Amino acid sequence: MALYFYNCDGFAQRQIVSWEPVIRNVLQNAYVPFDLRSCIAQDLDYGRVVVECGMAGTGKCSRVRGATYPDRVLICTTDGPALLLHELVHRCGGNEFDAEVFENYLFPLRNGAAKPGDEDLDEFRAFGFRGRFAYRYEDLVYTNEGRVLGYYSQILGTTGLVY
Ligand SMILES: [Zn+2]
């Protein structure tokens, strides 16, 4: 169990290290598809995750909260584990819909989860509200294993239905 760091000060490293058990715990206690759960667990177990820290509002972090690159994930805030989970979903091949669904499903209204913005909604539409690990059908969000995660409006939106 190990995370590696690039450009993170001691405070940020301690914060981010403390998120790892939180992420492992929520993955065990929720309807997370087996392939996503095992992919994230393996990335953590085998020390495959390099976290780069950036400063919110500047440089690479001027327009995003985080990002996933082939060799590392960029974290622009130390607010909580939700954002790191979001980037780990991308690392496992999830698109924006997947990442937002599991971020908000696993960390509802706490630990730094953020509801999707307008650009995210455009991307959801472009992919038909369908990801690799989750999809929306009518008002509900399902996993790729067919389990209901909940109402789309509760997990991802507060402004009513968005098509
Ligand atoms: Zn994302």
- To the nearest whole percent, how much of the chain has pLDDT over 90? 80
pLDDT over 80 (residue 161): no
Examine the pLDDT at 57 and tell me if it is beyond 50.
Answer: yes
Report how far residue 151's alpha carbon sits from residue 134's, in angstroms, rounded to the nearest whole number: 13
**CB-based burial, 6-26: b 16+ in 10 Å, e otherwise:** eebeeebbebbeebbebbbeb
Tell me the C-alpha distance between 142 and 120, whole Å.
18
CA 12 – ligand 1 centroid, Å: 21
Mean pLDDT along residues 64-82: 92
Rounded to two decimals, the pTM is 0.93
Beta bridge partners of 67: 74
Among residues 13, 12, 41, 5, the alpha carbon closest in space to that of 26 is found at: 41
* CB contact at 8 A, 145 and 33: yes
Q: Is the pLDDT of residue 3 over 60?
A: yes
Cα(65) to centroid(ligand 1), Å: 9
Cα 96 to ligand 1 centroid, rounded to whole Å: 5
Q: List, for residues 87-135, the tens digit of each pLDDT value.
A: 999 999 999 999 999 999 999 866 678 889 888 999 999 999 999 999 9
Q: Quick: pLDDT tens for 142-158.
A: 999 999 999 999 999 86
Cα 133 to ligand 1 centre (Å): 14
User: How far away, in angstroms, is 81 Cα from ligand 1 center?
Assistant: 14
Q: How far is the CA of 49 from the centre of ligand 1 (A)?
A: 16
Task: Measure 107 CA to ligand 1 centroid, in angstroms.
Answer: 15
Q: How confident is the model at residue 18 (pLDDT cuts 50, 70, 90)?
A: very high
Q: Which of the four pLDDT bands, split at 50, 70 and 90, describes residue 160?
A: very low
Provide the residue ranges of all domains of the chain, joining segments of one domain with +: 3-117
What confidence score (pLDDT) does residue 78 get? 84
Confidence band (pLDDT; 50, 70, 90) for 36? Answer: very high
